Structure 1
Amino acid sequence: MVNDAAQLSLIECARVTLEKDPRILAAWLAGSYARDEADAYSDVDLHCLIDDDDADWFTEHWTETADRIVPAVAQRSIPGLIGGFVISAEWLHVDLLFYRRSAFDPARCGECAPLFDRTGTLVPAAGEAGHGVTADISRRTFEFFLYIIGNLVVTLGRGEHLVALSGVTTVRDDFLIPLMLAESGASRRGGAKRLNPYLTVEQREFLASLPAAAADPGSILTAIAPMAAEYLRRGRVYADTHGIAWPERFEDATADHLHRHLGLDIRAGVVTPRESEGVA
């Protein structure tokens, strides 16, 4: 049975190792281990509080602390932060980050599970809820969707099939999924590698039913047609519910543009089997 025994062993090693360093004032877990959502595939997010006088040392030498926790095959600093990520030979992923005491706001710590705290005040109690990421849907969101999908005429007209293929993922991940999350008021708190808990069964089933796309026009259009129709259907309902003015004229123009040049009916979610006529 697959479990997270390796991560738990690493966390205990980290607790002992970090607490032995008097420069580290507090250490806590963030991410899935703080939310009690960890599984065998979870990263370990280690966060530490340090005095300002020690910040320069940890900026330059954070990997020395990391080496005492887990032997690494790869280490990389994260720009703008003190610390970085580590990958072990067993492909355990560890984020090790340090915060200056003067710049640290305990209220912004959000969800965390303390490993130790010499200050007694800077690390919130385990289990305090964070806010996660909630989609912000507005008229501009709907307009941008229409703009993105309308540009299929350009990318396919130029024969830029790889660019057009990336648009399939964009429509799904940057537009349709955020709209689905907004529908149910779900706050995505699990990071980029966790989505299922925040979608309804109906939403997951629809996304799973979508056809895969290859880098050819027919495949791209077949894949994007049902997503476009579903986005428009859900988008209109969301806009009506939340008092958002729908961009009717822009939708009309985009629908006509795509149907005329590509045979793509974004309202019905179908493609007319014909060759593109090119951009007029």
Structure 2
Amino acid sequence: MDNAAAITTIAQTLEDKPDVLALYLGGSFGVGLEDAYSDLDFVAVTTDGPTDAFASLWHDAVSRTGEIVLWWDRQAKPMLINAVTAEWLRVDVQIATPAQTAALSRNSLKVLFDHQGIYERLPHSSGPRGSEPKRLKWQFEEFIRILGLLPLALGRAEYINSVTGAFHLRNLLIDLLIEETDAPNRGGALHLNRLITAEQKDLLAALPALTPRREAIIPAYLAYAAAYLPRARALAVARGIAWPERFEQATWARLKKELAIEPQSLNA
């Protein structure tokens, strides 16, 4: 079943259920940026929120689009159900009560049905898109923390784990680049191309490959540090976030003592 038919089937199955007050499309479909690879993200507004009764109704609706081969019922988040059909149609639903819709916005949703006019009472947009300062500060500190684990990993000859560490550094760098662009309609994890600039893509493409060899690990970590730390400092200044100066100083001091690595970013 194609996406359009699946959307219609699910909406029609639920539209006459008295406890389902509204059903919207979110995600890429909600903002008109869907493609052939997009999953179906729904937002359901129900009388009592994410109950077992609604989960049963949702299972019935999704099963009409195809055989369900994966069913995560409020496992990742208490208000979220994820499903995959045998044809690999991916269907997610976020469930909310009317009182919990305040976090939604009209510019991110497409109405399938709305029996109580909830959509018209939503704000047009959800406000600033950037991460909370507390979250960004944690990301800055986490990057420095992983960088500081390099002597431990090399001392134990944990080269495979070092690749995992570099992978985390890469993810933190990607998060930082997305913060720089402040891109709207971020979508899921598989939409990076529309979230970062050509210059940022070139930066990522030029970074060393992650290989579990001692002689490759130190240059890779330092390349990620050189790419991340100056940009992170600049973002911290722009967002008014105190930079973890002392933590960075102590980390570079450790790297110099243990691995004879000179600081690369102090006062950058």
After TM superposition, is the score higher than 0.5?
yes
Q: Secondary structure at the match of 2:179?
A: helix
Q: Which moved more, 1:253-262 or 1:25-34?
A: 253-262
Match of 1:161, as an amino acid?
Y
Q: Which moved more, 1:240-249 or 1:219-228?
A: 240-249
1:239 to partner: Cα distance: 4.4
Contact 1:112–1:125, Cα closer than 8 Å, also in 2: no
Looking at structure 2, the residues matched to 54 and 127 of structure 1 have their Cα atoms a distance apart, in angstroms, of 23
Looking at structure 1, the residues matched to 49 and 211 of structure 2 have their Cα atoms a distance apart, in angstroms, of 54
The equivalent of 1:273 in structure 2 is none
Q: Which moved more, 1:258-267 or 1:207-216?
A: 258-267
Contact 2:31–2:185, Cα closer than 8 Å, also in 1: no
The equivalent of 2:53 in structure 1 is 57
Looking at structure 2, the residues matched to 204 and 126 of structure 1 have their Cα atoms a distance apart, in angstroms, of 36
The equivalent of 1:44 in structure 2 is 40
Contact 2:153–2:162, Cα closer than 8 Å, also in 1: yes
Residue by residue over 1:95-134, the C-alpha shift from the partner in whole angstroms, topping out at 9 and shown as x without a partner, is 1343344xx3333222211101111x22348994335752
- Between the aligned residues of both structures, percent identity stands at 33
Change (3 A) 1:129 1:6: farther
Residue by residue over 1:58-98, the C-alpha shift from the partner in whole angstroms, topping out at 9 and shown as x without a partner, is 24564223213433222221235356111112211001343
Q: Which has the larger radius of gyration?
A: 1
Change (3 A) 1:117 1:243: closer
Contact 1:49–1:100, Cα closer than 8 Å, also in 2: yes
The equivalent of 1:74 in structure 2 is 70
Residue by residue over 1:182-230, the C-alpha shift from the partner in whole angstroms, topping out at 9 and shown as x without a partner, is 3344456312222222212111111122222122322322322211112
Unaligned residue ranges in structure 2 (runs of 5+): none
Looking at structure 2, the residues matched to 177 and 42 of structure 1 have their Cα atoms a distance apart, in angstroms, of 21
Looking at structure 2, the residues matched to 83 and 183 of structure 1 have their Cα atoms a distance apart, in angstroms, of 29
TM-score normalized by the length of structure 1: 0.78
Q: Secondary structure at the match of 2:189?
A: coil
The total of aligned residue pairs comes to 260
Q: Which moved more, 1:130-139 or 1:154-163?
A: 130-139
1:24 to partner: Cα distance: 2.2
Change (3 A) 1:127 1:12: farther
Looking at structure 1, the residues matched to 254 and 49 of structure 2 have their Cα atoms a distance apart, in angstroms, of 61
1:260 to partner: Cα distance: 4.2
The equivalent of 2:154 in structure 1 is 156
Unaligned residue ranges in structure 1 (runs of 5+): 269-280
TM-score normalized by the length of structure 2: 0.81
- Equivalence map 1:135-174=2 (5 Å): 135-136=131-132, 141-174=139-172
1:106 and 2:101 matched: yes
Contact 2:129–2:182, Cα closer than 8 Å, also in 1: no
The equivalent of 1:275 in structure 2 is none
Contact 1:225–1:266, Cα closer than 8 Å, also in 2: no
1:168 to partner: Cα distance: 0.8
Looking at structure 2, the residues matched to 39 and 94 of structure 1 have their Cα atoms a distance apart, in angstroms, of 15
The equivalent of 1:255 in structure 2 is 252
Residue number among 225, 228, 232 corresponding to 2:225 in the alignment: 228
Looking at structure 1, the residues matched to 49 and 92 of structure 2 have their Cα atoms a distance apart, in angstroms, of 22
Q: Secondary structure at the match of 1:47?
A: strand
Change (3 A) 1:32 1:130: farther
